[in-house]
Amino acid sequence: MIKDLAELLVTKPRARCFSLAARIIAPVVLITASILAAAVKKESSTVFYAFTIVFTSGLLAYNSGFAKLVKGVQLILLFILLGLLINMLALATGLTPLSIEIVLTGALRLSAIALTAILLFQWISVEEWISLFSSAGAEGFARILALSIIQLPLSLRAFSEALLSVRIKYGGKYFTRMLNPLLLHAINTARNVSETLLIYGPPAPVKAEAWRWRDIVLYAGVSAITLTLLI
């Protein structure tokens, strides 16, 4: 499941059908609206979260394929369902004052934010992140962010392989033995990245597009979903 999640965090070529501005604005608006809806405790937020999940799932399925999407979000949904189950048990035993509506809405909110965050990872490449922050005068931060984005899928994949190796060799015991291979992986990856940067230099910034005709569909979908909060 961890390895499948790492695959989802890699930039997908199909995302280029929209302009860079649309690929930034749409996920940021949905995440911001999700947080604001939770802060003001809007009653219609459940509908908003449900539509956001459907909308982002459709875009992620278009980018990665439905089968890869289902495999990739299993780990996230597992944690969300586990938290939902704990809250439901606490609700049944009277250990929490929360209502079932609040618990379900919280699960939908976490799912919506997680899927939208994955969409942001898929839609914006490392070169585009560098271009954005470099144009804002934060070139140093852009390099650090780019390296972090590159490392995240690789680290998740290495963690998955180390976990599988320990599980096969030690039968699910001594999980602390994963630290050594993970540490070696981090050192080797850092060295390889440093050598690559010294030889070839950092990725060149790309020219960002502010508008494409397909953006109309994306903006219309985000606007329609956000308007459900006004109901």
The CA-atom distances, in angstroms, between 132 and each of 12, 165, 202 are: 18, 40, 15
The one-letter code for the residue type at 159 is F
- d(Cα 35, Cα 33) in Å, to the nearest integer? 5
pLDDT of residue 41: 67
- d(Cα 174, Cα 194) in Å, to the nearest integer? 32
Tokens for 219, please give them.
């903006």
- Average pLDDT score, the chain: 77
pLDDT band, residue 16 (cuts 50/70/90): confident
Could you give phi then psi for residue 152, rounded to 5 degrees?
-60, -55
- d(Cα 177, Cα 122) in Å, to the nearest integer? 32
Residue 156, pLDDT above cutoff 70? yes
The pLDDT tens digits of the residues spanning 17-39 come to 788 888 889 999 999 988 888 87
pLDDT band, residue 60 (cuts 50/70/90): confident
Residue 218, pLDDT above cutoff 70? yes
Range with lowest mean pLDDT among 12-16, 59-63, 80-84, 170-174: 170-174
Tokens for 65, please give them.
């394929």
Helices 74-92 and 100-123: angle between axes, nearest 10 degrees: 170
For range 119-131, the mean pLDDT: 81
Could you tell me the pTM of the whole model? Answer: 0.75
Residue 54, pLDDT above cutoff 80? yes
pLDDT of residue 206: 67
Per domain, the residue ranges of the chain are 1-125+208-231, 126-205
Contact 110, 78 (CB under 8 A): no
